[in-house]
Amino acid sequence: MSLLRHRLREQLSLALSQLDLDLPRGFRVDASPATDPRFGDYQSNSAMILAKRLKRNPRELAQAAVEAGNWEGLCQPPEIAGPGFINFRITQSCLEEHTLTIFHDAHLGVPQADPAETIVIDFSAPNVAKPMHIGHIRSTFIGDCLSRVGRFLGHRVITDNHIGDWGTQFGMIIYGWKRYLDREALEKDPIRELLRVYREVNVETKADEGALQACRDELVKLQQGDAENHAIWKQTVDLSLKQLGELYDWLGITFDHYLGESFYNDRLGPVVDDLLEKGLAEESDGAICIFFRDIPELAEKPAIVRKRDGGFNYATSDLATIDHRISEWNADQVWYVVGAPQQLHFQQLFAAAKRRGQDVRLTHVAHGSILGQDRKLMKTRSGDNVQLLDVLHEAVERARTIIEEKNPTLNDDEKTDIAEAIGLGAVKYAELSQHRMTDYIFSWDKMLSFQGNTAPYLMNAYVRTRAIFRKLGEDVSFPERLVLAADGERTLAMKLAQFGEIVPDILNDFRPNLLANYLYELAQAFHGFYEHCPVLKSEGETRASRLLLCELTSRVLKQGLDLLGIRVTDRM
């Protein structure tokens, strides 16, 4: 399916090519949705950009392009505005035909990627034996959204939760397991009990050097393959993964793999040996380092791949991880959805991978932080991280209270189901509607509001579409011909046509907020249509066309929210 935006670009590009211009190398024509629909549906500033490069008059060049173009059947004669903007208004017949095509397309007008690629997405990555906290929201929800969008576009997406299941903390956990573990508490809430044990040991080691040494001894025994300590470690990991899995299931998030740090233990030594053999690493003060003397920003920031004591760093593990993702999964790209503070680590990692000749595109999908009302990182009163599970439960409870007020006639199961959909959806949407690099303030009142750019507002628009068909109480047949007569119908149809344009753009700079903002505008367009274009009270082809628009809006809202990881309900 050819998108309207693409057809306009093609025609404008063809028109410019007929003007005998010396087009600059790499110049590409653009057309985007108009910022003000009063002046058209799409606009292009390409003539202005080209005129500047060619030292031509932009309005004259724009006019020449318009006159040279063949716009018949696509748009009305384009208009020139300001210093050289070209405004396009899609013809009524073209928009009607395009809307029908979208209606009958399983992908709702979203083109499939060509070529499709194998993309590994590394996100969430909590530590074993510790609860996920509010800081995990951004990586977890952004990563899940990108994986959904990638798959919808036809890519082969592999999701890998690179959990922290190895390291020095396990010496403390094993020490505490043997001395302080409450078996009954472990069965009820494994992660909470393991955290309690870890904290108790942490306090003890700060006061007692002997306890600290005992923890180190337990870690050494684990690393050397001691059967008892390995069994404790294995049980700790299994219990943590089971409980984490329950949380991910509740959120509707799945992973293809949970390959944690321990998976790569046996591969770290060979990675360092390979680096030394190829002259890519060298010894420095007893440690093995990769230096980047030819990269100015990294010239004085080497990556340590083996410490003086023989231990390995994250860089070593991540290089082994890249090896696995290339050799086993044939990855074309790997995306790391990790907070912005880790930028230096990924600059070093990607530079090292390039030197090793690893043929894969690596991207750090960085993100900002979530702030409390005081504009500081969210903490509990005691200074601890706010636990993610507590946030989600509170979101559902608050949503339940709202539902009790708005629709008390629903039965208890319906209220529970809707509260979960709204509560979890509200937290996800509050995250995904932000630019990923923006630090944003966590606000319950804002995210659960039924007004404004929120999940409840979008979900309510979907509920309205379904309410129309519930009232019909019969099978509905949709017309083979669509008629867009009223302004509200045309506005809604044009917004529906842009779904196929927005979804691929999300992956250009990893911006789920583009989709969130689009869905908000679609919901606004539908609410305007709903108020000014009666559906069930209309008749004939008008009624049939409006029902089709309602059904298509319903599908796009549901699919769009699903790409954000948000589940809809038919009632609220």
Choose one of 317, 345, 365: the last residue of a domain. 365
pLDDT at 2 (0 to 100): 79
- The predicted-structure confidence for 424-455, as pLDDT tens digits, reads as follows 999 999 999 999 999 999 988 899 999 999 99
Which pair of structure tokens corresponds to residue 248?
Answer: 């991910």
Q: Which amino acid is at 491?
A: T
- The predicted-structure confidence for 161-202, as pLDDT tens digits, reads as follows 999 999 888 999 999 999 999 999 999 999 999 999 999 999
pLDDT band at 34 (very low <50, low <70, confident <90, very high): very high
The per-residue DSSP string of 212-223 comes to HHHHHHHHHHHH
Strand pairing report for 361-365 and 287-290:
unpaired
pLDDT band at 22 (very low <50, low <70, confident <90, very high): confident
Q: Which amino acid is at 18?
A: Q
Is there a single domain that holds both residue 200 and residue 134? no
Residue 119 Rama label (left phi>0; alpha psi -120 to 50; beta): beta
Residue closest to 180 by CA, chosen among 152, 165, 200: 200
- The predicted-structure confidence for 485-505, as pLDDT tens digits, reads as follows 999 999 999 999 999 999 999
Which pair of structure tokens corresponds to residue 142?
Answer: 């952004």
- What would you report as the CA-atom Rg of the chain, rounded to the nearest whole angstrom? 28
pLDDT at 403 (0 to 100): 93
Report the CATH number at residue 514: 1.10.730.10
The three-state secondary structure class of 301 is coil
Choose one of 90, 108, 134: the last residue of a domain. 90
Assigned domain for 247 exists: no
Tell me how far apart the alpha carbons of residues 58 and 197 are, in angstroms, rounded to a whole number: 71
pLDDT at 195 (0 to 100): 92
- The predicted-structure confidence for 303-320, as pLDDT tens digits, reads as follows 999 999 888 989 999 999
pLDDT at 376 (0 to 100): 80
pLDDT tops 90 at residue 151: yes
Is there a single domain that holds both residue 154 and residue 262? yes
Long-range contacts of 191-198 (CB under 8 A, 24+ apart): 191/129, 191/130, 191/131, 191/239, 191/240, 191/243, 191/244, 192/131, 194/129, 194/130, 194/236, 194/239, 194/240, 195/129, 195/130, 195/131, 197/173, 198/129, 198/130, 198/169, 198/172, 198/173
Choose one of 302, 335, 365: the last residue of a domain. 365
Q: Tell me the mean pLDDT in the region 216-235.
A: 94
The three-state secondary structure class of 377 is strand
Domain limits at 347?
Answer: 118-161+258-365
Tell me how far apart the alpha carbons of residues 547 and 536 are, in angstroms, rounded to a whole number: 8
pLDDT band at 243 (very low <50, low <70, confident <90, very high): very high
Is there a single domain that holds both residue 352 and residue 214? no
Tell me how far apart the alpha carbons of residues 199 and 376 are, in angstroms, rounded to a whole number: 24
Q: Residue holding tokens 């991540």?
A: 318
Collect all residues with Cβ–Cβ distance below 8 Å to 558 and sequence separation of at least 6: 462, 568
Assigned domain for 385 exists: yes
Is there a single domain that holds both residue 397 and residue 262? no
The three-state secondary structure class of 446 is helix
Is there a single domain that holds both residue 403 and residue 501? yes
pLDDT band at 380 (very low <50, low <70, confident <90, very high): low
Q: Tell me the mean pLDDT in the region 380-391.
A: 76
pLDDT at 394 (0 to 100): 95
Is there a single domain that holds both residue 126 and residue 179? no
pLDDT tops 80 at residue 378: no
Is there a single domain that holds both residue 224 and residue 270? no
pLDDT at 477 (0 to 100): 86
For the chain, percent of residues with pLDDT exceeding 90:
88
Residue 558, Cβ neighbours under 10 Å: how many?
18
Is there a single domain that holds both residue 434 and residue 516? yes
Angle at 112 between CA 110 and CA 113, to 5 degrees: 125
Q: Mean of the per-residue pLDDT values for the chain?
A: 94
Q: Tell me the mean pLDDT in the region 463-483.
A: 90
Q: Tell me the mean pLDDT in the region 57-68.
A: 94
pLDDT tops 80 at residue 70: yes
Is there a single domain that holds both residue 443 and residue 565? yes
pLDDT band at 379 (very low <50, low <70, confident <90, very high): low
Assigned domain for 485 exists: yes
pLDDT band at 238 (very low <50, low <70, confident <90, very high): very high
Report the CATH number at residue 281: 3.40.50.620
Looking at the structure of the chain, the number of domains it has is 4
Q: Tell me the mean pLDDT in the region 93-106.
A: 96
Assigned domain for 359 exists: yes
What b-and-e string marks burial along 211-246, b requiring 16 or more CB atoms within 10 Å of the CB? bbebbeebbebbeeeeeebeebbeebbebbbebbee
pLDDT at 473 (0 to 100): 76
Assigned domain for 391 exists: yes
Is there a single domain that holds both residue 157 and residue 175? no
For the chain, percent of residues with pLDDT exceeding 70:
99
- The predicted-structure confidence for 244-271, as pLDDT tens digits, reads as follows 999 999 999 999 999 999 999 999 999 9
Assigned domain for 110 exists: no
Assigned domain for 245 exists: no
pLDDT at 383 (0 to 100): 57
Is there a single domain that holds both residue 355 and residue 317? yes
- The predicted-structure confidence for 399-410, as pLDDT tens digits, reads as follows 999 999 988 999
Collect all residues with Cβ–Cβ distance below 8 Å to 125 and sequence separation of at least 6: 139, 161, 162, 163, 164, 338
Burial label for 178, CB within 10 Å (0-12, 13-18, 19+), is middle
Assigned domain for 101 exists: no
The three-state secondary structure class of 157 is strand
Task: Determine the number of helices (DSSP H) and then strands (DSSP E) in the chain.
Answer: 21, 13
Report the CATH number at residue 37: 3.30.1360.70
Burial label for 59, CB within 10 Å (0-12, 13-18, 19+), is middle
Is there a single domain that holds both residue 527 and residue 479? yes
Q: Tell me the mean pLDDT in the region 376-383.
A: 64
pLDDT tops 80 at residue 384: no
- The predicted-structure confidence for 333-372, as pLDDT tens digits, reads as follows 999 999 999 999 999 999 999 999 988 999 999 999 998 8
Residue closest to 31 by CA, chosen among 9, 10, 14, 49: 9
pLDDT at 374 (0 to 100): 79
pLDDT tops 70 at residue 1: no
